[in-house]
Amino acid sequence: METKALKAPFIPVAEHDGLIKVSDLENDLVVIFEVWFYATEHDTCQLMINGTLVGEAQAFPEPLPEMGTEITIMLKKSELEADGVYQIAYRARNVIGGQNADSPPVTIRVDRTAPGAALLAPAVIPDVISGLIPGYAGMEPGDVIEITCNDIACQSLTVMPEHMSDTLISFTLARDILGEVGAQATILQYSVTDRAGNTSRKSLATLVDPTH
Q: Tell me, what CATH number does 89's domain have?
A: 2.60.40.10
CA distance 137 to 14: 24
Residue range 28-52: mean pLDDT, rounded = 90
**Which pLDDT does position 210 carry in this prediction?**
59
Higher pLDDT: 209 or 77? It is 77
Do 139 and 100 lie in a common domain?
no
67-121 tens-digit pLDDT: 888 999 999 999 999 999 999 999 999 877 778 999 999 999 999 988 887 777 7
Percent of the chain topping pLDDT 90: 50
**Which pLDDT does position 68 carry in this prediction?**
84
125 domain-assigned? no
Do 70 and 154 lie in a common domain?
no
**Which pLDDT does position 128 carry in this prediction?**
57
Residues 6+ apart with CB under 8 A from 25: 77, 80, 110, 112
| CATH code of 140's domain | 2.60.40.3580
CA distance 103 to 2: 10
CA distance 79 to 55: 9
Give the domain extent around 32: 3-110
Nearest to 168 by CA among 139, 193, 188: 139
Higher pLDDT: 164 or 48? It is 48
117 domain-assigned? no
Neighbours of 119 (CB within 10 A): 13
CA distance 81 to 67: 34
pLDDT of 166 > 80? The answer is no
Q: What does DSSP assign to residue 199?
A: B
135-160 tens-digit pLDDT: 898 999 999 999 998 888 888 999 99
Do 43 and 139 lie in a common domain?
no
52 domain-assigned? yes
Residues 6+ apart with CB under 8 A from 146: 153, 155, 156, 190, 191, 192, 193
40 domain-assigned? yes
